Amino acid sequence: MTDFKEIDRQYAYNGFLGAEYSQTGTVFRVWSPLADSVKLKLYSKGNGGTDFFEGKMTKLPSGVWEYEAQGDLNGVYYTYAVKIGDRESETIDIYARSAGVNGERGMVLPCEENSDRPIEFKHKTDAVIYELHVRDFSADESAGFANRGKFRAFTEKNVRTIHGDKAGLDYIAELGVTHIHLLPVADFASVDEERISPEYNWGYDPLNYNVPEGSYSTDPFDGFVRVREFKELVKAVHRKGMGVIMDVVYNHTFHTADSPFSKLFPHYYYRHFGDKYSDGSACGNEFASERKMAGKFILDSLCFLASEYKLDGFRFDLMGLLDTDTMLRCAEALKKINPHIVLYGEGWTAAETPLPAEMRSVKSNAGRLKSYSMFSDDFRDGVKGSVFIDDDCGYINGRAEEKREMIKSAPAGGVYHHEVKREKEKCWAQSPEQSVNYTEAHDNLTFYDKLKVSMPHADSEKLKAVHKLGGALVFLSQGVPFIQAGQEFMRSKNGVHDSYKSPDSVNSLKWNLISENRDVLEYYRGLTAIRKAYPDFRMKTADEIRSKIHFYDLEKGGIKAEIGAFTLIINPSDEPVTVQTDGRAAVYADSKKASAEPLYTIESTVTAEASSVMLFKPV
């Protein structure tokens, strides 16, 4: 195996890679220090046919191969033919900015002036994040989209459900969402873009990181279209006052030995156990971010995407496989581009990795990664039970006494609090801004499906009550609230786990559920309004939380939490719980409704109904 540390010492390169365009000529640069030769091939189309030009590239001392092609090449497609030993492979440029159908050939594309701007956003705890798959958004016929499954569906106005309710982007804006988190929209390999009705995939199968996915465009054969339509999506969201967070998958690639990275430099971009590829992603390989040119690729890619598309944040898939030094460099560079950028990810790995524990971007290293938030699987599983065991229960669905201390930690934003009986080392968040609180995401069962299977004897009203209780814990806890699209109207995927390639019938948003579960939707909307109206639920530091939040145990696993000026009663039991108050108080949330304006007043006692909260403050 090649000594990659020595390669980094000899050949690490800090300059521009890719196709540097001007109207009079384009300079192509690609890093492949062990290649014997590299040829540039130009094509008039993104697929099919033969090249109309082939040029021998020149090797520089840095291991970069360079060729300057004369004339205006805007929109021309290109590849590199890389010869290493007795093998010559043709590959797309890993730095390509757009591509033809199925991402086989890069396209020369100038960076253009873009008047769009990211939203201004100061504190992560002010965020309300809404996770959404592009195709799920518009695929179902329960709403009248014209561009089903496409980027352009986000630009459609006045979309209505079959019952006449608002749908689409107009609907999301009225929820009080601050950021839409899009599941991967960079070019992925698992969907054939040439098919009129492509097969479904979440998109965690990356091929070309800087190229928008062609199956979401109206013309995947034209590299200009996918870029233009994704920019239109981002602008449409910005016009509604919301930000766009891009889900990025730098921890692995779909292909391994025959990936574009391997064709340029076999093995360099991947980690190994001995002479075999390691698989900490459980997807066949893991990207060696700690190597200089692999880390540079991630940094360059993120900065390009943030600048070119005016993105408001990034969510990192299996962030634990990315080394902390690279992540710190990325955060520093991204904040120069957008001081308000939101960064978070999965603070774990999927399997064993050779990356040393102290270098992993995991929850236990959160103290080093203060610019990054991480998903709180403690919160998720504490509230509803393990995602890996269908009938396992958490605090709200059957194990209240056992999980009470864990749930006290939720309103405390996951930081260490002396009134919570939880080991200090398990309180991994250094501040509430680091804890992303959720009960549902794209993977595993939806929250509704989990409740249904773990509470087999519960009727529909009981399920609604527990669903509202879970929502209250997400929005009234310190930290960053996160929901999957449709959670607010009790989205179901028919009990399917990890529906990454299930059909639209399983994955699509069923917009008719707005009318069927309007009471749950309005409850979630009210919780969002409370959170946005009162900074008591958006504290910024661990010290503020420890001084302003206090806990008291109630019967049957219940909790009384004093949160700034508010008191929150959490009752997970099947019976009402009555608590004395300190006089007259205004109620903002009960078992039925939640509102930023007082619902009614109480005098000396408050009763939290079964599986509900009561939120009130003195008047």
Pair of tokens at residue 442: 């794209």
Where would I find the beta strands (DSSP E) of 440-580?
480-484, 549-553, 559-563, 566-571, 577-580
DSSP class of residue 41?
E
DSSP class of residue 465?
H
Catalytic residue among 104, 205, 323, 346: 346
Q: Dmax of the chain from CA atoms?
A: 85
For 166, the 3-state DSSP assignment is strand
CA–CA separation, 212 and 469 (whole Å): 38
Residue 120 CB-density burial (10 A; 0-12 exposed, 13-18 middle, 19+ buried)? exposed
401 is catalytic: no
Catalytic residue among 140, 317, 440, 536: 317
Pair of tokens at residue 318: 């299996």
Helix extents (H) in 88-222: 134-139, 168-175
Angle formed at CA 144 by CA 138 and CA 148, multiple of 5 degrees: 35
Number of H helices, E strands in the chain: 15, 30
- Closest alpha carbon to 590 in 437, 413, 177, 598: 598
Residue 424 CB-density burial (10 A; 0-12 exposed, 13-18 middle, 19+ buried)? exposed
Pair of tokens at residue 338: 């957008």
Query: What residue has token string 């929109």?
Result: 75
449 within 8 A of 493, measured Cβ to Cβ: yes
Angle formed at CA 282 by CA 280 and CA 503, multiple of 5 degrees: 150
325 is catalytic: no
| DSSP run (H or E) holding 472 | helix 460-476
DSSP conformation letters of 70-103: ES--TT-EEEEEEEETTEEEEE--TT-SEESGGG
480 within 8 A of 489, measured Cβ to Cβ: no
Query: Annotated catalytic sites, by residue?
Result: 317, 346
